[in-house]
Amino acid sequence: MSGIIPKEDAQAARRWQPPEMDPAARTAVQPPLQTAGGPPTAQQFEAVYAQAEAQGREDGRQAGLEQGHREGYAAGHAEGLAAGRAQAQQERETLQALLSRVTQPVAALDAEAETALVALALELARQVILQELRTQPEALLPIVRKALAAFPAQAGAPSVRLHPLDLDVLRNAAPDLESSGVTLLADDTLQRGDLIVAAAAPGQTATPDRRWRTRSREAVSELDLRVEERWRQIMTRLFEEGLQ
């Protein structure tokens, strides 16, 4: 390649001139503290310092808020976690207590239920008998006659022990009982509707905790027909029939 510029290209060439700078552009790139008139004044320094101080305080406040938020969240999280664990432990203990009750021996639970059921049945039976005696006092007479018929003849002359009020009712309903050799005895330890038929030597008291009992020495027999005993017999019979 030749280093000589052709004539036609040389005629089109122009002399290079440096570009003019805009005074406004030169002012914009100057430092903020530098003015066209000279170095920055004390007021300008104070303004810049105040602005920097305010910005520093704002940055510090934001940083403090963020740190406080983080620390508060951590503390609240730890406190909530501890409370949740305590509640879970309490619920676990309650559940264990319930499970221990559920896993009790079935026989013990059945015994408790049976005791409550028998007590309720006895009370209902007593209320029914009392109501029947109030409305139909003579309803006691068939029970007495059946008891006397079932009493063993070899035991001797029977005696009937019953509540004083029932004794008055029985004497009015069946005055022939005493004339036939039956001894009627008032016993205020018995409840309305209770009945005990016994044959014993003079001064001998019957024991109410058994239906039948024969004492070989005194030849004493008794038939316990108290409300509780009669109802127990019914419950026993129903239970035995249910097992068949």
Mean pLDDT in residue range 3-20: 61
Cα–Cα dist 70/67, whole Å:
5
Domain ranges of the chain: 41-103, 111-243
Instruction: For residue 35, list its beta bridge partners.
Output: 38
Residue 170 has pLDDT above 70, yes or no: yes
Cα–Cα dist 198/222, whole Å:
4
Query: CA-based Rg of the chain, rounded to a whole angstrom?
Result: 57
Longest CA span, the chain: 177
Confidence of residue 145 (pLDDT cuts 50, 70, 90): confident
What pLDDT, on a 0 to 100 scale, did the predictor assign at position 208? 40
Residue 26 has pLDDT above 80, yes or no: no
Total residue count of the chain as it appears in this document: 244
What pLDDT, on a 0 to 100 scale, did the predictor assign at position 186? 92
Residue 188 has pLDDT above 60, yes or no: yes
Mean pLDDT in residue range 159-172: 89
Q: Which CATH superfamily is domain 111-243 in?
A: ATP synthase, E subunit, C-terminal (3.30.2320.30)
- Give percent of the chain above pLDDT 70: 43
Residue 210 has pLDDT above 50, yes or no: no
What pLDDT, on a 0 to 100 scale, did the predictor assign at position 234? 63
Mean pLDDT in residue range 20-31: 52
Residue 189 has pLDDT above 70, yes or no: yes
Mean pLDDT in residue range 145-153: 80
Which residue is listed with tokens 């039956």?
182
Instruction: Kindly state the tokens that stand for 125.
Output: 């039976």
Percent of the chain that is helix, strand, coil (3-state, to 5) = 60, 10, 30
Q: Is 59 helix (H, G, I), strand (E, B) or coil?
A: helix
Confidence of residue 217 (pLDDT cuts 50, 70, 90): very low
> Which letter, b or e, does each residue of 61-84 get, where b requires 16 or more Cβ atoms within 10 Å of its Cβ?
eeeeeeeeeeeeeeeeeeeeeeee
What pLDDT, on a 0 to 100 scale, did the predictor assign at position 175? 87
The 10s digit of each residue's pLDDT in 27-46 is: 444 455 555 555 666 676 67
**DSSP of 134-169, one letter per residue?**
HH-GGGHHHHHHHHHHHS-GGG-S-EEEE-HHHHHH
Q: Which residues are CB-neighbours of 226 under 8 A, at least 6 positions away?
A: 190, 191, 193, 194, 195, 196, 208
CB 182 within 8 A of CB 145: no
User: Considering the chain, what is the average pLDDT of its residues?
Assistant: 68
- Helices then strands, counting H and E runs in the chain, come out as 8, 5
Mean pLDDT in residue range 62-68: 74
CB atoms within 10 A of CB 55: 10
The 10s digit of each residue's pLDDT in 69-121 is: 677 666 666 776 777 777 777 777 776 776 666 555 555 656 676 676 666 66
Sign of the alpha-carbon dihedral angle for 107, 108, 114, 115: positive
Residue 232 has pLDDT above 70, yes or no: no
Cα–Cα dist 27/205, whole Å:
135
What pLDDT, on a 0 to 100 scale, did the predictor assign at position 111? 67
